Chain A
C-alpha cells in the first residue's frame, strides 16, 4: 500500500463523507424542527439532481454554453425548485399528520420518497436508465505520485464545507434561525411568542430540501451520472449518519457522515473482496452500534413525554 494509493483512498472517503454529511444535516434539521424523520430526503436529493440535469439541457438548447453560467443557473434553479417541492410535501403531507402517531409520519414520508423516485423513473424521458450529468467544473488534475488530485473534487469539497458552515451560521446568527431553534426546542412556547409555526416549518423543509438539491448536484458532478435510484441508499446512509451523530445535533450529523464514509473505506481496503462487502460491513457496524447505544454516539437531545 503506497502512500499515493492510501492518499487516493482517503480522498475518495472524504468526498463520500462530504456528501453523506450534507444529507445527514438535512435529516437533523427536519428532526430538530418537527421531531420527524423525513424519509424522502434521499429521493428529494435525486429529484434535485434531475431538475439540475433538466435545467442544464434547457440551457444548452437556449444556447448558453459557458460552464460557469450553466453551473450557477443549474444549481440555483434546482435548489429553488427542490425547496418548493419540499415545502409542498411539508404543507400537504407532513403537517396534516402532525397529531398522528410518529409511525404514520415515518411511513408517509417513506412512501412519498417512493412516489418521487418512481415519478422520476416513469416521467423523466429515459428515466429508468442512468443519465449522463455534464462535467461543469474544471477537470484539471495534479498527479502527486500515484495519487490524482482533481480540481473539481477540491471545489466540491470546499462548496460542501461552506454550505454546512453557512447553514450553521444561519441557524445560530439570524432571526429566522432563532425562530427555527425556538420551534425546535418548544413548539407551544414559540407559538405563544408570536412565531408563525407553519411558516417556520415550511421554510425549514424548503431549506433542507435546497441542501439536498446541492448534494444531488454534487453527486451528479462527482460521478458524472445521475439515476433515479440514487437517493435511496444515500438517504438511508444519511439517516444512519444523523443518528450516529445524534439527531438534532448539526455537527454530530457531519461527524456521522464522515464516520460512515470512513467505515466504508476501511471495509473496501481491509476486506478481501475489494468493495463488494463494504456496504454490508458499514451497515452491520451501524446496527451493532445501535444495539450498544440506542440513541447514537452523541445522544439525542430530547425527552419523552410519558
Chain B
C-alpha cells in the first residue's frame, strides 16, 4: 500500500507542476506573475518547514521519471500553438541537458568545470560546420557535436587531472576565455559575425515545419521538444544507472576524499577522465541541438559569463541532485523572460542568489539524498 501512496503523491506533484508551469507561461500581466512567484515561494517554504516530503515513502526512480516525462509532454501539447512559451520550454530542456553534463563532473567527480559553455559551443560549431559543408545525417551530426566536445576536452584533461581546487579552476577559466577569443578572431569559423545553421532534418521530417497531424496543429518547436525529451530520457537513465553502479560509488569516493580513495585502490585518473568526458559529451550534444533550433551561433553565446550561469544553476539546484538541476534551470531560464523587471538585472540576481545560497543553504534548493547502499523497498 505504501508504494501506491508514494506513486499517487508523485503523480499529483507532477500534475501540479505542469499546471503551474502552464499558468506561468501563459500569464501576461506582471501582477499575475508576481502572484504566481509568491505562491511558489510560499509552497516551498511550507514544504521545507513541515518536511512533508520526508513523510512520503520513496518513489522508484523510474516511476518518477515517467511521471515527469508525461507531465512535460502534456505541458507541451497544452501549449501547442504558443511559439514563445514552447521556445522557453525547449531552452529549459537544453540547459538541463547541458547542466546534467556538468553535474556528472561536479556532483560525481568533484571537477568544477568553468568552461561548460565552451563545450556547449564546441557542439554548436561542430554542428554548424558539418551541416554547412557535408551531407552528414543530422542525428550523426548531433553525436559528432558531443564527440568533438570530448575531443577538445582531452586538450585540457591532463592539466585538470594533475591539479586540484583553485588550480583546476584556473585551467577551466583560462580555457573558457581562450575559447571565446579564439572563435572571435578565427574567420574560418565565422568570426564575430557567427554562423547560421539550417534546421534539423531526419529523413522526411523537417524540424522547422509546423506540425500538422490530421486535426492536430502545432508550432514547429514541438519537433525539437520531442527530440529533446527523448535525449533527456536517455541521458537521465544513463546518469541514474551510473549513480547506482560501482562506477558511481567510485566517483563519489573520488570526489569526497581523493587520498582515501587512492588508498583503497581506486584509480582516480580513470574515473575523473570518465566523468569529464561524459559531461562534455552531454554539453556538446545539447549545444548541437541548440544551434540548430536557434539557427544562429556566435562567439558571444559561449562566453565565460554563460559558463558561470551554468555553474550557478548547479549550485542553486543542489549539487548531486538531477531534479535540483531541472528546477534551477527552469527558474533561471523562464523567470527573467517573463518578469521583465528582472531581465536587465538577471546576472546580478543569479550571482547574488548563489552567494546567499552558499552562505545560508550550501546544499542548494533540492539537496541530494544520502546514498542508501542497502536495498530499499
A and B touch in the complex (CB under 8 A): yes
Query: Which residues of B from 313 to 358 have beta carbons under 8 Å from A?
Result: 315, 344-345, 347-348, 350-352, 354-355, 358
Task: Verify A107–B315 contact, CB threshold 8 A.
Answer: yes
Task: Verify B348–A107 contact, CB threshold 8 A.
Answer: no
Task: Verify B308–A110 contact, CB threshold 8 A.
Answer: yes
> CA separation between A93 and B311, bound complex, in Å?
19
The answer, yes or no, to whether A232 is at the interface (CB within 8 Å) is yes
The answer, yes or no, to whether A22 is at the interface (CB within 8 Å) is no
Contacts of B87 in A (CB 8 A): none
Contacts of B315 in A (CB 8 A): 107
> CA separation between A119 and B177, bound complex, in Å?
22
The answer, yes or no, to whether B181 is at the interface (CB within 8 Å) is yes
> CA separation between A277 and B184, bound complex, in Å?
10
Query: Which residues of A from 208 to 239 have beta carbons under 8 Å from B?
Result: 232-233, 236, 239
Q: Could you say which of B136-144, B168-176, B289-297 contacts chain A?
A: B168-176
Q: Among B170, B347, B362, point to the contact of A114 (Cβ < 8 A).
A: B347
Would you give the shortest CB distance from B307 to chain A, in whole angstroms?
Answer: 11
Closest to A123 in B: B348
> CA separation between A106 and B164, bound complex, in Å?
12
> CA separation between A306 and B257, bound complex, in Å?
9
Task: Verify B348–A122 contact, CB threshold 8 A.
Answer: yes
The answer, yes or no, to whether A111 is at the interface (CB within 8 Å) is yes
- Total count of chain A residues near the partner, CB < 8 A: 40
Task: Verify B348–A115 contact, CB threshold 8 A.
Answer: yes
Q: Among B171, B304, B312, B354, point to the contact of A287 (Cβ < 8 A).
A: B171
The answer, yes or no, to whether B1 is at the interface (CB within 8 Å) is no
Contacts of A115 in B (CB 8 A): 348, 351-352, 355
Closest to B159 in A: A291
Q: Among A118, A232, A306, point to the contact of B259 (Cβ < 8 A).
A: A306
The answer, yes or no, to whether A295 is at the interface (CB within 8 Å) is yes
- Digitize A89-122: 1 where CB-to-B-CB distance is under 8 Å, 0 elsewhere: 0000100110010111011101110110011001
- Digitize A275-294: 1 where CB-to-B-CB distance is under 8 Å, 0 elsewhere: 01101100110111011001
Q: Among A106, A119, A291, point to the contact of B348 (Cβ < 8 A).
A: A119
> CA separation between A92 and B255, bound complex, in Å?
28
The answer, yes or no, to whether A240 is at the interface (CB within 8 Å) is yes
Contacts of B174 in A (CB 8 A): 236, 240, 283, 286-287
The answer, yes or no, to whether B359 is at the interface (CB within 8 Å) is yes
The answer, yes or no, to whether B165 is at the interface (CB within 8 Å) is yes
Query: Which residues of A from 15 to 62 have beta carbons under 8 Å from B?
Result: 37
Contacts of A118 in B (CB 8 A): 345, 347-348, 351
The answer, yes or no, to whether B129 is at the interface (CB within 8 Å) is no
Q: Among A103, A112, A279, point to the contact of B351 (Cβ < 8 A).
A: A112
> CA separation between A103 and B165, bound complex, in Å?
7
Would you give the shortest CB distance from A225 to chain B, in whole angstroms?
Answer: 20
Contacts of A284 in B (CB 8 A): 178
> CA separation between A115 and B345, bound complex, in Å?
10
> CA separation between A110 and B308, bound complex, in Å?
9
From known contacts A112-B351, A290-B170, infer whether A107 and B182 are also in contact, taking CB-CB under 8 Å: no
From known contacts A108-B359, A279-B178, infer whether A243 and B167 are also in contact, taking CB-CB under 8 Å: yes
> CA separation between A110 and B351, bound complex, in Å?
9
> CA separation between A166 and B365, bound complex, in Å?
47
Query: Which residues of A from 171 to 185 have beta carbons under 8 Å from B?
Result: none
> CA separation between A279 and B304, bound complex, in Å?
14
The answer, yes or no, to whether B43 is at the interface (CB within 8 Å) is no
Task: Verify B359–A96 contact, CB threshold 8 A.
Answer: yes
Contacts of A100 in B (CB 8 A): 358, 362
The answer, yes or no, to whether B112 is at the interface (CB within 8 Å) is yes
Pairs A-B, 7 closest by C-beta atoms: A114-B351, A118-B348, A276-B185, A291-B159, A283-B178, A111-B351, A37-B166
Interfacial residues, chain A to chain B (CB-CB below 8 A): 37, 93, 96-97, 100, 102-104, 106-108, 110-112, 114-115, 118-119, 122, 232-233, 236, 239-240, 243, 273, 276-277, 279-280, 283-284, 286-288, 290-291, 294-295, 306
Interchain Cβ contacts under 8 Å between A and B, 9 examples = A37-B166, A93-B355, A97-B358, A97-B359, A107-B358, A111-B351, A114-B351, A115-B351, A118-B345
